[in-house]
Chains A and B, each alone.
Chain A
Amino acid sequence: MPELPTAPELLERRRRGAALVRDDDGSAGARVAVLSTYNLDLLPPFLAEALDRHAVPALARLTGFGQLARLVADPASELYEAEPQTVLLAPAVEDLLLPLYEQGAGVDGVTLADERVDELVGQIETLLGGLPGATVVVALLPARRAPRERVLSAVASGRGQDAVARLEQGARELGRLGPRVVVIDLAWAVREHGWTALWDSRMWFLGRMRLNAAGHALLADLVAGHLAAARGVRRAKVVAVDLDDTLWGGVVGEVGASGIEIGREGVGLAFRELQRELLVLHQGGVLLAMCSKNDPEYALAAFDHPDMLLRREDFVAERVNWEDKASNMRALADELNLGLDAFAFLDDNAREREWIRQALPEVMVLELPDDPARRPDIVARAPCFQALTVTQDDRHRAESYRAQAERRRTRGTARSFDDYLVSLEQRVCVEPVVERTLQRAVQLCQRTNQFNLLTRRHTAADLERMLADPAHDVIGVMVADRFGDSGMTGLAIVARDGDQAEIDTLLLSCRVLGRHVEDALLSVVARRAWDGGARRLIGRYASTDRNGQVAKFFPDRGFAEVSEGVWRLDLKAGSMPPAPDHILIEEATHA
């Protein structure tokens, strides 16, 4: 349901629409004929503006207030002469049931309603026959008041509301008359906004108008929206979705998968309901794709959160990297073999939205408010997702796209992720921790939760003791790439005892995860142990509620389990843990 425009928006829409109507030299596309039982003479500018905004090339020109029946019935009337492509048939319940309002008792309301529906059927069939190719849009204005409202009992015989309901239901059924009949459920729209917001008694008494300015704008918006949906204009087949602060609250790279806001109350619920709306779209045939600036492995871990409604499999394609989003949108279009004009873009970041608007004007960018509580409605009601119907085909579409994309992805994105890693030009600089870097090393011990094998919370005193002990190797890891230098973002502590070296601490800050820095670090740790005379490397893993992602760190790298949580790697010349090709390792002996 469209939101009601504010006063300045109303003025602007009417002004733009009036200019469109004035500038019409007859060349601009199709005509919409407006046939109503009440005065809609103020509608044309609003309708022209709404049609333009919804990218439906048509103009409203002819209005036939009060002449609906004659214009339809007379084959020589100006209606048929004008050959409109669209006819807006806009009766009002209170006009059609006038005898019931005026006479009350003595009129059988339900019978009267049925007769009126039959008349509408006849009129629509006449229009369809007289205007081959034209679409008839039916918008029955619901009743502001029911006949005989003073009768309170809901089961009173001859209650006015019964006739109103009968007529409104009959009007909805008119949509079954064929594919060229589009029925707007205006009663539903009015129910949302309320008559107080749409009615102005002065306009009724002065001009027989049953809607105020906002009401005219709403009707125009609904007509244009239905026509756009019927013609498939500016409809999104795919919605590209940002992750952090869009699908969930918080930056997963900073707070970790368990720290994001998603859940069953408060702001977490707002994010969950946004996900629900996306899931409904997905089930109705709109494809979902990820488009996020993130470390992929880290961001995707958020999908393991138990309150997450969307699963990773619900997305047909993923672009989770540090490339700019316009490039990623183009890549998504290539991968899915769709035009960019089939894409909607959902992102909480106004700068990203503006960038996409400028770089890819054909993409439909949804304007998301800063307040997450307002976002589910925006997604649920965005015109670009609206369709007249949802078919069985629509429901299966996502599945077939997904299977196709899955095959491509295993080929395509695996390679591009490696390319991405290479393109980062990473340098890992390893140097022993000294007095100057001690505080940062302590901080890493205290704060690192996710990539931390033993989570030993060493204090400054602990580390000072280890630095003084030649059996302990305490090394800090600096990571830099072409985007900048992350400073000390990793730490390893190894205790040597004869030909055995045991890893006391191995941790990385979340900022550098997902780029194989850990393998670079392990290769350095192993080589330094070897240089110190060790021939066996012992690693331990202690599970916490945060460090599940490193549970398989040792077995994935060829360590053998000695006992529960204790792993051993025999060091041999020529088969040491390898350093990743794409990372340049620099080793300082001392700072």
Chain B
Amino acid sequence: MRDRIRELMAGLWGVPLELIPPDATTETLEGWESLRHLELMLELELTFGVRIAVDEVAELRSIDAIEDALGAHGVV
């Protein structure tokens, strides 16, 4: 799942996969700012058919957190 999220981010932002480390967070990954974050949330929703609540959006600021949240939404 972690790699699927990384691939999705790399595809969304048009960067090579190796530039998205598995432990990336909004703090450590350059360019993962608020607009890109919102775009990523939309992409996750459309791709996995989940709905991310407004307060969740603010919390999902790392690949770890996104993976956990998708798991909690039943995405495996």
Contact = CB atoms under 8 A, between A and B. Distances in A.
A337 to B, nearest CB: 47
Nearest to B46: A7
Main secondary structure of the interface of A (DSSP, over half): helix
B38 interface: yes
B17 interface: no
A202 interface: yes
A10 B46 CA distance: 8
Given A41-B35, A206-B57, A15 B46 contact: no
Contacts of A205: 54
B14 A22 contact: yes
Nearest to B55: A202
Contacts, number: 40
A120 interface: no
Interface residues of A, number: 20
B46 A202 contact: no
B49 to A, nearest CB: 7
Given A15-B11, A18-B14, A7 B49 contact: yes
Contacts of B43: 11, 14
Contacts of A213: 42, 46
Contacts of A209: 38
Contacts of B34: 206-207
A133 B46 CA distance: 39
A41 B42 CA distance: 14
Interface string A388-424: 0000000000000000000000000000000000000
A203 interface: yes
Given A11-B43, A207-B35, A202 B54 contact: yes
Nearest to A41: B35
Interface in A189-229: 201-203, 205-207, 209, 212-213
Interface in A152-206: 201-203, 205-206
Interface in A81-133: none
Nearest to B35: A41
B59 to A, nearest CB: 12
A212 to B, nearest CB: 8
A45 to B, nearest CB: 9
A269 interface: no
Interface string B16-59: 00000000000000000011001100110011010011100110
Given A14-B43, A209-B38, 15 more contacts: A10-B46, A15-B11, A15-B12, A22-B14, A41-B35, A42-B39, A42-B42, A202-B54, A202-B57, A203-B38, A203-B42, A206-B38, A206-B54, A206-B58, A207-B35
Interface of A: 7-8, 10-11, 14-15, 18-19, 22, 41-42, 201-203, 205-207, 209, 212-213
